Amino acid sequence: MPKKLIKRFMPDHQTVREHRYLRFFGTILHDPNLFHLNRRSASGAFGVGVFVAFVPIPFQMVLSAALAVLFRVNLPISVALVWLTNPITMPPIFYFAYKVGAWILGTPTRALEFQVTAEWFMQELGAIWQPFLLGCFVVGTLCAAVSYFAIRGLWRLRIVRHWQRKKDERAARQDT
């Protein structure tokens, strides 16, 4: 079952409650529903985590945890999924989001010559912030919706196959 596979990689409740960035949630993290693993909580956590991964802010884990608490979905999954955008994957993902936003707005994309200076960063961000943020929102929403429905569908498919296998086993036992 997917539940057993996912639970193998999830941290225990105490570890999450005592995480230094999540401690400020206090007793809210003591709600056992935040750690349940079922089709609703897992698919919701994927939706929240994938959406927040496309939000270009620091400390995405805190935002993901807040949304997981608000929507009462699995907290560890939603927090872990924000690492889809890590320092290695962030540049291509955010560049793609910028291109999508520029395409939606009908503005030409700028050729970016990367320099590691605060001045360059502020100047370029000031010029591309509208298509960038729109692209992040659109791509994040689409990816979150796809992941939500994919997890729900895969979970259901797994359960149906499990039921069918049990039914076939019962039929085979009755035939003998």
Instruction: Return the domain boundaries, the chain.
Output: 2-175
Residue 1, pLDDT score? 46
pLDDT at 83: 92
Q: Supply the pLDDT for residue 122.
A: 78
Q: 168, 169, 159: which is closest to 3 by C-alpha?
A: 159
72/162 Cα distance (integer angstroms): 27
pLDDT score for 10: 64
Residue count (the chain) = 176
d(CA 79, CA 150): 19
C-alpha–C-alpha distance, residues 121 and 41, integer Å: 38
Q: What is the full per-residue pLDDT of the chain (176 aa) written as tens digits?
A: 466 666 666 666 666 666 666 666 666 776 777 888 888 999 999 999 999 999 998 889 989 989 998 999 998 899 999 999 988 998 889 889 999 999 999 988 877 676 667 777 778 777 788 999 999 999 999 999 999 999 999 999 999 999 999 988 888 888 77
Q: Which residue has the tokens 């698919």?
A: 43
Q: Could you tell me what percentage of the chain is helix, strand and coil, using 3-state DSSP and rounding each to the nearest 5?
A: 75, 0, 25
Q: Give the contacts of 156 (CB within 8 A, at least 6 positions apart).
A: 39
Neighbours of 137 (CB within 10 A): 17
Tell me, what's the pLDDT at 16? 65
Residue 109 DSSP label:
P
